[in-house]
Each structure stands twice: as structure tokens, then as C-alpha cells.
Amino acid sequence: MTDDLEPISPREAVDLYVSHRELEVSEKTLQNHKYRLDAFVEWCNEVGIDNLNDLTGRHLHQYRVWRQQDVNIVTLRGQLATLRVFLEFCASIDAVEPGMRERVKLPDVDRGDEARDEMLDADRGHKIIGYLERYKRASRDHVIMAILWHTGIRLGSLRAVDLEDYEPDEQCFWLRHRPDTGTPLKNQGPAERAMALDDYYCDVLDEYIRFHRHDVVDEHGREPLVTSDQGRLSSGQIRSEVYRLTQPCLIGECPHDRDPNDCEATEYGHYYDCPSSLSPHTIRRGAITYQLREDIPEKIVSDRCDVSSEVLDRHYDRRTDREKMEQRRDFIEDL
């Protein structure tokens, strides 16, 4: 089979691939691909592969072992996914044997493994809400993402809110611990509190209630704020919607070289399968970090989000030490 291949160096093949994709993907996506493939070229140079015709499945396994020493499993999966697309291109130009891409095995990603540091960053959060504002204003999707981002509350807290808990004139809603009727709060009674809302979020809620909320009650006769046509949303339903709404292809291009029209992760029940979709807890972590970066005092964030200062620092605050130093500097200079 190698007699049918045409010799080409790894660097030359990557350059051809990048040129080939220039008109198909955004500049940022192209830069990401080039960065990922540069690591592969570096490895080829280290082990002496100067002709891609010589590439074998064993080599690809060795590369994966080499690369996983420096990156986490989520990053590794993304880099190997790009390598698979690159090898498919290489097969089309007779640089590697047909089917070589299938020899790149993608690691399974345990969402629990990536959850500790993963968060929805502010830029992405604002883009998602901006998209929903433009195309699905005051929809249930808009309410779920906007309220989770603006308040930093837990999934179970959002689910627990009733229509009567919302006070539009006071621009707030109440979180109440109601374990006997199916909506406990994680920290029980002490977690009960009022959540202040900005004008924008009140406007979204008002429109949602007026035009899109289903006029239903749950099995306990309560009127939930966020509904389906069957009643109160389950935790699983909210979680599934968040996975769907945080898929990158909602607001831009897929970073995993998938066609959204054919991607299984865009189908109901499979939203979780997108490597870049996020859980509700990552929105909470991102919202808390964003509030801290906006110079909201830690005590205020702690009370608003129902999290102790110790847990806030250990599990939610993703500011760097330098960011914290600069914020302290600004505070002292203002004095």
C-alpha cells in the first residue's frame, strides 16, 4: 500500500492542510488547528518521522502517550480529534494509508474529572445570552441561562422558584426551602433568601410570564416559575437544556470538526455527548468568578450565592493570584 503513497514531510502536510481549510473555517478555528498539529509535527521531529508515508498505528499510539503527559484529558481529546481530521485529509492526498484516522483512538471524557476547574467564562456567557436575546427573547431557554448566569444560583434553586416567589415591583424573587413538596434547597432553611434582579432580567421574566410560561401547576398544586407543558421542570430537564444551550455551535463554529446537521450531540438525549457543552454547575462557577472580577466584595458574593467564604475560595473563585493582587492594588489606591 505504501507504494501508492507520495512522500511528504509532516510540516509540509500540515501547511497543505491549513491552506485547504482556510476558506472553510474561521481564522480562530484555523489557528487552533495549527496549534494542535504543531505538537504532532514536533513529536515527529523528535522520533525521526520525516515522511508521513511511514506513519503507523503504533506511532499514533506513541504520540497519544507522549501528548497526554502535558495536557488534561479534555484537551487531549480535542487535539486527537483534530489529528483525525488532518489524517483524513492526508489520506486524500496520498500522504498516509486510507483509514489511518480510525487508528487514532479518542479518550472517553468523564465529566466528573473535568468539573473541578471547568467554568463558563464571561465572554462565552454573554454571547450565549446575547444570542438568546436576539433569536429567542423571553423564551424558557433565555430565562434558564439568564437567571443562572445573573444570580449564580444552583440548578435546584432555580427549579424551586414558584410564580408567586417573583416580585416584579421589588425586582427580586425568593428562594424558599420546601422539602415536603419536592423542592428542597441544598443548605435547607439557612439558604432561604431574596435574589435581587437587574432591570434587564426583570423585563425578560415579565415577558416570559406573559407570553411563554405554561399556565400549569405541579403535583403539589404549586405554580412553578419555569415550566414545561407538564408542570415543573425536573433537575434532569434543566441540566439537559443547559448542555444543549452551551454547545459552541449555538453561537459559532464547532471546534470539534463536526457538522451540526449530522452531529448526534444535537439530538435530544445526547446533548451531553458534546465535548464542549457545560453543566449548570460550571455556570455557577463562572458567574461567581465573574462577580468577583467585577469587584463585588466576597462577602456579598458569598451571601448572594449561598456559599461559605472557605468553599468560595477553594471551589469557585477562579481568579489568578495576580488578578487578586491588582484588585487589592486598585482598592488601596482608591482609598
Residue 139 and residue 94 share a domain: no
Q: Which residues pair with 173 in a beta bridge?
A: 166, 195
Residue 272 and residue 154 share a domain: yes
Q: What is the CATH number of the domain that holds 186?
A: 1.10.443.10
Evaluate whether residue 320 is within a structural domain.
Answer: no
Give the three cell numbers for residue 194.
Answer: 431574596
For residues 233 and 214, what is the distance between their CA atoms, to the nearest angstrom?
Answer: 11
Evaluate whether residue 64 is within a structural domain.
Answer: yes
Residue 206 and residue 241 share a domain: yes
- Domain holding 41, by residue range, is 10-103
> At which of 70, 103, 136 does a domain end?
103
Residue 78 and residue 172 share a domain: no
What does the pLDDT profile of the chain (335 residues) look like in tens digits?
Answer: 456 889 999 999 999 999 998 877 777 778 888 888 999 999 999 999 999 999 999 999 999 999 988 877 878 888 898 899 899 999 999 999 988 988 998 887 654 544 456 789 999 999 999 999 999 999 999 999 999 999 999 999 999 999 999 999 999 999 999 999 999 998 899 999 999 999 999 999 999 999 999 999 999 999 999 999 999 999 889 998 999 999 999 998 888 878 888 788 888 877 877 888 888 989 999 999 999 888 888 889 889 898 887 877 776 777 777 877 776 777 677 65
* Phi, psi (degrees; rounded to nearest 5) at 166: -85, 125
Evaluate whether residue 42 is within a structural domain.
Answer: yes
Total domains in the fold of the chain: 2
- pTM here is 0.65
Give the three cell numbers for residue 97.
Answer: 494509508
Spacing of C-alpha 197 from chain mean position: 24
> At which of 246, 265, 286 does a domain end?
286
CA torsion sign for 234, 240, 152, 231 is negative
Residue 140 and residue 223 share a domain: yes
Give the three cell numbers for residue 218.
Answer: 405541579
Residue 166 and residue 80 share a domain: no
Residue 270 and residue 134 share a domain: yes
SS3 226: coil
